């Protein structure tokens, strides 16, 4: 198969991945719509109050002849509404959503592999290829997490994020298969960029969980509790942060080899460091200051905004030695 045919096959695989991600999003959304409700707060317990003496007027006998009635009154706190069992439609929709997500993941992977063979290099040398790989990493993070923990509630939101990302790559960032600038013809692209892609995928899943945390109300909801959403985000960041740290260090080593210096205050370098500091602040606040809840979520979403600007905004709006977006 020629390079041109492989490139066309890669483009078709991207479109197939978009379609499958959209269908998976619809299936996951159906599961949320017809699934069980989840209580927003813990239900108050029903405790027995001390026995209350009721004395019948005119009864023959002393005060002790009254009828003792033991009443149970709810303690302070909201009473949980009984959760309805999930409907058969919700169960089937969730299963279909996972199957479609895996098929979309396979199409996304096929797009990356065929693109790599078409250009005879690592397939993330421009903005289009990077975004395609980033969407693949985000979906991979979701699916691998689902293998160990039930996080299907994130499915609809991760799928729509991946579909929109691939759509943006096709409509805005698309670059025809071809060679890259000489500085990118290095084995360091497999080390530095790969680590950045994997970390960014995990950060993206954490960002989705963080947005859902802020959107979710305190009452009854089809989403899981805020504690569960915060736990998912925190675990993803704990895994992603060392990878991002490694990506920054590897980038400095690559810069020394390519440009003769480790650090040059290039906009991409600066925003990579700002992103690292923001996520470090989030982890530091969680461990030392005991931050949790809304405050911690806001910090991690600020860090996620820095990440998005570093990955996309710098390449579009800011010039520099890392400007290889071709948009």
User: Which pLDDT tens digit goes with each residue over 38-67?
Assistant: 544 443 333 333 444 444 444 444 444 444
User: Which pLDDT tens digit goes with each residue over 265-286?
Assistant: 888 888 999 999 999 999 988 8
Dihedral of the CA atoms 203, 205, 211, 212 (nearest 10)?
-150
Per-residue buried b or exposed e for 45-76, using 16+ beta carbons within 10 Å of the residue's own CB: eeeeeeeeeeeeeeeeeeeeeeeeeeeeeeee
Rg of the chain over Cα atoms, rounded to whole angstroms, equals: 27
User: Which pLDDT tens digit goes with each residue over 88-140?
Assistant: 887 888 899 999 999 999 999 999 999 999 988 888 888 899 999 999 999 99
CB neighbour list of residue 301: distance below 8 Å, 6 or more residues apart: 207, 210, 211, 214
Tokens encoding 253: 């080593």
- Tell me if residue 38 falls in helix, strand or coil: strand
- pLDDT class for 324, splitting at 50, 70, 90? low
Q: Specify whether the CB–CB gap between 297 and 213 falls below 8 A.
A: yes
Instruction: Give the global pTM.
Output: 0.78
**Domain assignments of the chain as residue spans, ordered by start:** 3-37+80-317
């Amino acid at each position: 198969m020629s390079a041109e045919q492989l490139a066309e096959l890669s483009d078709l695989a991207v479109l197939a991945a978009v379609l499958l991600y959209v269908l998976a999003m619809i299936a996951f959304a159906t599961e949320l719509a017809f699934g069980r409700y989840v209580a927003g707060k813990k239900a108050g317990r029903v405790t027995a109050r001390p026995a209350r003496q009721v004395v019948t007027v005119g009864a023959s006998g002393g005060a002790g002849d009254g009828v003792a009635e033991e009443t149970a009154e709810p303690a302070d706190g909201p009473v949980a509404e009984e959760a309805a069992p999930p409907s058969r439609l919700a169960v089937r929709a969730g299963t279909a959503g996972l199957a479609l997500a895996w098929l979309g993941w396979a199409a996304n992977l096929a797009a990356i592999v065929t693109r790599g063979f078409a250009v005879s290099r690592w397939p993330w040398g421009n903005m289009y290829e990077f975004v395609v790989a980033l969407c693949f990493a985000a979906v991979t993070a979701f699916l691998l997490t689902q293998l160990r923990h039930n996080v299907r509630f994130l499915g609809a939101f991760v799928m729509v994020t991946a579909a929109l990302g691939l759509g943006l790559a096709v409509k805005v960032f698309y670059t025809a298969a071809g060679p890259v600038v000489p500085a990118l013809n290095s084995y360091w692209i497999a080390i530095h960029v790969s680590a950045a892609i994997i970390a960014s995928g995990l950060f993206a899943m954490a960002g989705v969980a963080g947005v859902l945390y802020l959107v979710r109300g305190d009452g009854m909801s089809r989403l899981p509790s805020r504690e569960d959403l915060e736990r998912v985000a925190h675990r993803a960041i704990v895994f992603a942060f060392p990878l991002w740290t490694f990506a920054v260090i590897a980038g400095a080593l690559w810069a020394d080899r390519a440009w003769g210096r480790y650090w040059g205050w290039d906009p991409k370098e600066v925003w990579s460091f700002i992103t690292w500091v923001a996520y470090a602040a989030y982890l530091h606040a969680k461990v030392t200051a005991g931050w949790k809840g809304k405050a911690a979520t806001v910090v991690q979403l600020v860090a996620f905004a820095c990440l998005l600007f570093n990955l996309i905004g710098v390449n579009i709006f800011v010039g520099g030695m890392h400007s290889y977006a071709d948009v």
